[in-house]
Structure 1
Amino acid sequence: MIPVPLRRAGLVVTAALAALLALATPAAAHGADAPDGTDYRVTLTGLSPAPAGLTVRVVEAGARLELTNRTGRDVEVLGYSGEPYLRVGPGGVYENSRSPATYLNQTLAGDTSLSSEADPAATPVWYRLDPGRSVRWHDQRTRWLESSPPPQVSADPGREQRIRDWVVPLRVGTETVEVRGTLDWVPPPDAYPWWVAATLGFLAIGAAGLAPAGTTAGTRALRGVGALLALGGAAAVVFTVGRELDAGSAGIGGVLVGLVGGQIWALLTGFGAIAAGGYALTRREAADFALALAGACLAIFGGFANVAVLSRSVVPVAWPPTTARILVTLVLATGAGAVAAGVLRLHAAARTAPRPAQPVPTPR
C-alpha cells in the first residue's frame, strides 16, 4: 500500500502537469490577445483638435487604443483607406463590415484574411457591437508588425530610439480629428539578475523542507514557508490587478468585472496561495500537501506564465516595469520554493511513516 504522504506528493506532480497542459490553451487569463511584454513603446501625444468629451488612450501595453465618446455626437474611426471603420455615439458602438480594418484588426498580428464583403469604397454596413460609449481596437498604424526590428534598431539595439510618429484619423461630424502618437524602441533589460534572485529564493525556501518535522525547527520552517507563500500569493494578486488596470478597466466595478471575466484563474491562484500559506501558519494537518499544491499552481500560473516581464522593457501592467519584475520574481521564488519544501516534507513523512505489521503465520 502506498503511504498517504507519497500519494499526496504524486497528486502535486499530477496537478502541476495538468496546469502546464492548461497553459497550452488560448490565453484567456490575460484578456483578448494582449502581449505579455514587448520592447516597443506606444505613446499617445494628443488629439488635434481636441473636442470636449472625447478621450483616447493606449491600453494593453500598446496592443490597443481605447476611445471614449461623451461628446453627444457620433465619432467615426477611419480605416486604413480612409473608410469608416468604427462608429461610437449615443446609440452605442458599431463596426462597418465593409471595412478591411474590421478583419485585419481582429488579431494582434493583423494576419486575418479579408472577407469577400470587404470593400473600403462600398457604402458602410453597420453592426452594433455594444450599447456603451467606449471601444478598444488593434491599430496597425500604432505598432511594429514585423518579426524583425527596424534597420536602425538592428544597427544599434542598445539605444532607445524613435521608430516613427503615427496618426489615426477620426471624424466628428464634418470635422476631422487626428489621434497622434509615437512608436519607440526601448532596449530590453537584462533578465539574468532576476532569474538569479528567483533561483536563490527558491533554494532558500525549499531548504526549509529539510528541517525535521515534529521538532521546533520543523514547525518554524513550516510557518516560515507558509508566510512566504502567502506573500507570493499577494504579489500575484497585485500583478493580476495591474494587468487588468493596464487593459483599460476603470473603477472598482470595471476592474472586478474584468478580473472575473478574463483573469479569474490567475486571481484564484493568488488567493489560493494566500489561503494555503495561512493554513500552514496554523500548523494544520496536511499543510505540507497544501503548500506543495498551491505553490505549484502559483509558480506556473502566476510566475512562468508571466516570465516575459523579466526580459521585456514594456510590460502590460499599471505599475512601473521594475515593480512588475519584483512581483514576478517573488511569485516564482515563493511558488517553486513552497513546492520543494512541501515535497521534501512529504517524502520525509513517507519514509518515517510506520509500516503496517505483517501477519505472523500460524504454525501447523
Structure 2
Amino acid sequence: MTPPRRVGVVVGAVLAAVLTLAAPAAAHGADAPDGTDYRVQAIGLSPARAGLTVRAVEAGARLELVNTTGRDVQVIGYSGEPYLRVGPDGAYENSRSPATYLNRTLAGDTTLPTEADPAAPPRWRKIGDVPRVRWHDQRTQWREAGVPAPAVTDPTRPHRVRDWVVPIRDGAEQVGIRGTLDWVPPPDPYPWWVAATLGFLLVGAAGLLPAGSVAGGRALRAVGALLAVGGAAAITLVVGRELDAGADGAGPLLLGLLTGQVWALLTGLGAVAAGGWALARRPAADFVLALAGSCLAVFVGVANLATFSRAVAPAPWPGQYARLLLVLVLIAGAGAVGAGVLRLHAASRAAVTAAGHRTPVPA
C-alpha cells in the first residue's frame, strides 16, 4: 500500500470510528419536527406576571415556561386538573394527570395508564431541578388530518387558524398563556432542488481535470474550500436547531450540542477539517474529500431535506435562510464526493496503465 493510500485509510478509519461512536446521541430532540407548515407563537401571559416568561420552542412543538417568582405555579391539564408544577424547587409533573401521558409525544397517541385520573389528588413526580418546564400542548397544535378549510380555499397566503389559551394557576389566581396558531403556505421545493443538483454537478465535474496538472491542483483546492464552507453551513444549521430547541446561553448551547447534536456537529467539523486537508494538498486528499463529503451529504443534507418543503424550519431565523444553508451543504457534500471519486478513479487507471508498461525483470 502506498503512503498516500495508507494515510487515507487511517484518516477514514478514524473519522468512521468517531462518527459511529457519536451516533447514539443523535436521538436528542427526536420528537421535534424537522419542519412544519404551522407557526405557533406564544404572545405572553394575561394578565402579565413579573417573573413568568413563556415562549414556543422546537418549531412550535413545545411551550416553555420559566418561573423566577420564587413561588410555585401550576400548568392546568385538559380536564382542568393540575398537570405541571414549576417553582424554586424545580419542575414536577402530576402522574395522575392524563396530559402527562398524552403530551409524551407530539402526536398525543400515548395509551393512558390506569392511574391517570384527573379527579384524583395530584401525585407529583420531579422532572427537573431548575424552575423551567417544557411540554407538548395539544391546545396549541393543529391535530386534524387535513389542512384548515381557509388554506384549502386560498393556499397562497397565511391563515390564522385560531387564538389559543393554556391556563396556569398562580396561587389562587387563574392566568392564561396566550398565543396564535397560523397556517403558512409551504415553499416550492423545486427551485431549491434544481440549485442543489446543478451545483453538485458543477463541483463534481472538477474531478475530471487531470490531477497532476495546474488546473487539477487548483480544482482540488477549490473543492476543499467549498467543502469547508459546506461544513460551516452544517454547523450553523446544527447550532440553529439547538437555539430553536431553547438553548439560551453559551453553557446550555454547548451542552445541547454535545449531548443531542454531536453526530451532525462532528460531521460539520469533519467537513471543515477535510476541506483544509485538501487545501493543503495533503496525501490522500481525494479520499478524504469523498469520505467527508458523503458524511456531510447524508448525515446533515439528507437528514434535513424536510426544510425544502416546509414553511417553518427548526431554526431561529426565516425558513429561506435554512434552505439556503441546506443547499450549500448538499452542493459541498455531494460535489466533494463526485470530485473525489472521479480523481481516485483517474489515479487508479493511471496506476494500472503505468504498471502495464513496466519492463518485466528477467528471471
- Any idea what the Cα deviations from partners look like across 1:71-129, whole Å, max 9, x if unmatched? 11101000000100000011111000000000000001110000110000000000011
Partner of 1:176 in structure 2?
A: 174
Q: Offset of 1:319 from its aligned partner?
A: 1.9
Aligned 8 A contact 1:212 1:218 in 2: yes
Partner of 2:225 in structure 1?
A: 227
SS in 1 for 2:221: helix
Q: Which of residues 288, 307, 310 is equivalent to 2:308?
A: 310
Q: Offset of 1:348 from its aligned partner?
A: 0.5
Mapping of residues 113-192 of structure 1, within 5 Å: 113-192=111-190
Q: Offset of 1:280 from its aligned partner?
A: 0.3
Partner of 2:27 in structure 1?
A: 28
Partner of 2:87 in structure 1?
A: 89
Q: Offset of 1:27 from its aligned partner?
A: 5.5
Distance in 2 between residues matched to 1:45 and 1:169, nearest whole Å:
14
SS in 2 for 1:108: coil
Q: Which of residues 331, 346, 352 is equivalent to 2:344?
A: 346
One-letter amino acid of the structure 1 residue matched with residue 220 of structure 2:
L
Partner of 1:265 in structure 2?
A: 263
Aligned length: 354
Q: Following TM superposition, where does structure 1 have runs of at least 4 consecutive aligned residues deviating by more than 6 angstroms?
A: 356-361
Q: Offset of 1:149 from its aligned partner?
A: 1.3
One-letter amino acid of the structure 2 residue matched with residue 54 of structure 1:
L
- Any idea what the Cα deviations from partners look like across 1:143-182, whole Å, max 9, x if unmatched? 0123321233223222211111111000011111100111
One-letter amino acid of the structure 2 residue matched with residue 90 of structure 1:
P
Partner of 1:294 in structure 2?
A: 292
SS in 2 for 1:46: strand
One-letter amino acid of the structure 2 residue matched with residue 28 of structure 1:
A
One-letter amino acid of the structure 2 residue matched with residue 247 of structure 1:
A
Q: CA RMSD in A?
A: 2.6
Distance in 2 between residues matched to 1:134 and 1:45, nearest whole Å:
18
Q: Offset of 1:359 from its aligned partner?
A: 6.7
Q: Structure 1: 5+ residue runs without aligned partners?
A: none
Partner of 1:47 in structure 2?
A: 45
Distance in 2 between residues matched to 1:250 and 1:53, nearest whole Å:
16
Partner of 1:103 in structure 2?
A: 101
Distance in 2 between residues matched to 1:35 and 1:171, nearest whole Å:
29
Distance in 2 between residues matched to 1:187 and 1:68, nearest whole Å:
32
Relative to structure 1, the CA distance from residue 352 to residue 121 in structure 2 (aligned partners, 3 Å threshold; closer, same or farther) is same
Q: Offset of 1:207 from its aligned partner?
A: 0.6
Aligned 8 A contact 1:27 1:33 in 2: no
Distance in 1 between residues matched to 2:335 and 2:258, nearest whole Å:
28
Establish whether residue 355 from structure 1 lines up as the match of residue 355 from structure 2. yes
Distance in 2 between residues matched to 1:146 and 1:341, nearest whole Å:
46
Partner of 2:329 in structure 1?
A: 331
Distance in 2 between residues matched to 1:27 and 1:279, nearest whole Å:
27
Distance in 2 between residues matched to 1:225 and 1:54, nearest whole Å:
50
Establish whether residue 78 from structure 1 lines up as the match of residue 99 from structure 2. no
One-letter amino acid of the structure 2 residue matched with residue 51 of structure 1:
R
Distance in 2 between residues matched to 1:101 and 1:261, nearest whole Å:
27
Partner of 1:200 in structure 2?
A: 198
Relative to structure 1, the CA distance from residue 297 to residue 249 in structure 2 (aligned partners, 3 Å threshold; closer, same or farther) is same
Distance in 1 between residues matched to 2:259 and 2:136, nearest whole Å:
20
Aligned 8 A contact 1:73 1:89 in 2: yes
Distance in 1 between residues matched to 2:190 and 2:110, nearest whole Å:
36
Relative to structure 1, the CA distance from residue 217 to residue 130 in structure 2 (aligned partners, 3 Å threshold; closer, same or farther) is same
Distance in 2 between residues matched to 1:98 and 1:335, nearest whole Å:
49
Partner of 2:215 in structure 1?
A: 217
Distance in 2 between residues matched to 1:69 and 1:156, nearest whole Å:
41
Aligned 8 A contact 1:299 1:336 in 2: yes
Q: Offset of 1:355 from its aligned partner?
A: 2.8
Q: Structure 2: 5+ residue runs without aligned partners?
A: none
Q: Which of residues 251, 254, 265 is equivalent to 1:253?
A: 251
Q: Which of residues 62, 65, 71 is equivalent to 1:64?
A: 62
One-letter amino acid of the structure 2 residue matched with residue 82 of structure 1:
G
Distance in 2 between residues matched to 1:267 and 1:108, nearest whole Å:
25
Distance in 1 between residues matched to 2:338 and 2:317, nearest whole Å:
30
Distance in 2 between residues matched to 1:147 and 1:291, nearest whole Å:
44
Distance in 1 between residues matched to 2:359 and 2:118, nearest whole Å:
84
One-letter amino acid of the structure 1 residue matched with residue 326 of structure 2:
V
Which of 150-159 and 346-355 deviates more? 150-159
